[in-house]
Amino acid sequence: MLAVTILGNNSAVPAFDRHPTSQVVTTDGTSFLVDCGEGTQIQMIHYKIRRSKISHIFISHLHGDHYFGLIGLINSFGLLNRLQDLHIFAPSPLQHLIELQLKVADTVLPFNLHFHTIRNEGVLLDEEKYSVTCFHTNHRIECYGFAFIEKKKPRRLLPEKAREFEIPSHFYDRLTHGEDYIKKDGSVVKNEWVTLEAAKGKVYAFCADTKYDESIIPHIDGADMIYHETTYLNNLAERAAARFHSTSGQAALIAQKANVKKLLIGHFSSKYESLDEFEKEAKAVFENTELALEGVTYRV
């Protein structure tokens, strides 16, 4: 099951008990942290996220509201005697910054910290059950979105059917991987007669900070769920563009054009106390929109 839990849904300055960007993506027992604004570790405690479960951290860009909480989290991992490796994917020079902060504190971590500097679009992780890719977004500084892609599972075997066609059980594994079975007399048992289509792997894309830019669409096309920032409402579209941010209506338009199934919106400006208008504005364009609310888990 692919799911995302929101830890912070506000833009830069914390306000109205909303926190800077951070979310936890989970798939099949693995937890990824996406962005890590100040106070993320405190939000994790608050929402009972098991910090030790986090194996990979993805940082979209080096504006503070997306990474100022990272050094504190790393530091706490050290003090809590974490032993398992931690992988961080981020643009340069995050590695230098973190290493400098550890050095001035004379801190030696008890676990291995692996930095993977993102320099371009592409595949960041390719594991048996999932992959993670990144793509450029259009922001004031170098910035990346991330797509979490569950791999297609094996086809589902229909054991009665397989027995009916007298297929030996040692071939069952090959059936779930799509092979036909050829009997000794040369006749063929078509794979689809004895298996069912596997459930399609789900896709979740975090679109980071970005101004309205359709060039991200190929990277999120047909995704089951995307998170798109919406710092302002449409009436401040000019300000949004000037600051390389999006409006709620623009986020919805991207969702619509990319044929995604569901849209989460967040990164709300601190000038808005109520979020009702964000939801209303987006839903008018793309009905299956939800506000990304802190502490809530959205199943993809």
Which among 58-66, 121-129, 178-186, 282-290 is the span making contact with a second copy, rule CB under 8 A?
58-66
Q: Does residue 65 have an active-site annotation?
A: yes
Binding to a second copy by residue 38, rule CB under 8 A?
Answer: yes
Cα–Cα distance, 69 to 71 (Å, whole number) = 6
- Residue 174 identity (one-letter amino acid): R
Binding to a second copy by residue 97, rule CB under 8 A?
Answer: yes
Minimum distance of a second copy from residue 128's CB (angstroms): 34
**Binding map of a second copy across residues 70-89, x = CB under 8 A, - = no contact:** -xx--xx--xx---------
Binding to a second copy by residue 68, rule CB under 8 A?
Answer: yes
**Binding map of a second copy across residues 274-293, x = CB under 8 A, - = no contact:** --------------------
Which residues are within 8 A (CB) of 103 and not within 5 positions of it... i.e. 6 or more apart?
Answer: none
Among 17, 28, 35, 65, the active-site one is 65
Q: Among 52, 84, 123, 141, indicate the residue that binds a second copy (CB under 8 A).
A: 141
CA geometry: angle at 285 spanning 246 and 37, to 5°? Answer: 35
- Pair 212, 253: CB distance under 8 Å: yes
Of residues 111 and 165, the one with the C-beta less far from a second copy: 111
Minimum distance of a second copy from residue 285's CB (angstroms): 29
Cα→Cα distances 137→140, 214, 218, 276, Å: 10, 10, 12, 26
- Residue 91 identity (one-letter amino acid): P
Minimum distance of a second copy from residue 106's CB (angstroms): 5
Cα–Cα nearest to 132, from 111, 118, 153: 118
Minimum distance of a second copy from residue 94's CB (angstroms): 8
Which residues are within 8 A (CB) of 129 and not within 5 positions of it... i.e. 6 or more apart?
Answer: 27, 28, 150, 151
Q: Phi and psi for 159 in degrees, rounded to 5?
A: -60, -40
Q: Among 13, 123, 182, 188, indicate the residue that binds a second copy (CB under 8 A).
A: 13
Binding to a second copy by residue 236, rule CB under 8 A?
Answer: no
Q: Phi and psi for 127 in degrees, rounded to 5?
A: -105, 175
Minimum distance of a second copy from residue 277's CB (angstroms): 22
Binding to a second copy by residue 93, rule CB under 8 A?
Answer: yes
Of residues 105 and 293, the one with the C-beta less far from a second copy: 105
Cα–Cα distance, 42 to 223 (Å, whole number) = 31
Q: What b-and-e string marks burial along 166-188, b requiring 16 or more CB atoms within 10 Å of the CB?
A: ebeeeeeeebbeeeebeeeeeee
Binding to a second copy by residue 106, rule CB under 8 A?
Answer: yes
Binding stretches for a second copy (CB under 8 A) = 12-15, 19, 38-39, 41-42, 45, 62-65, 68-69, 71-72, 75-76, 79-80, 93, 97, 100-101, 104-106, 140-141
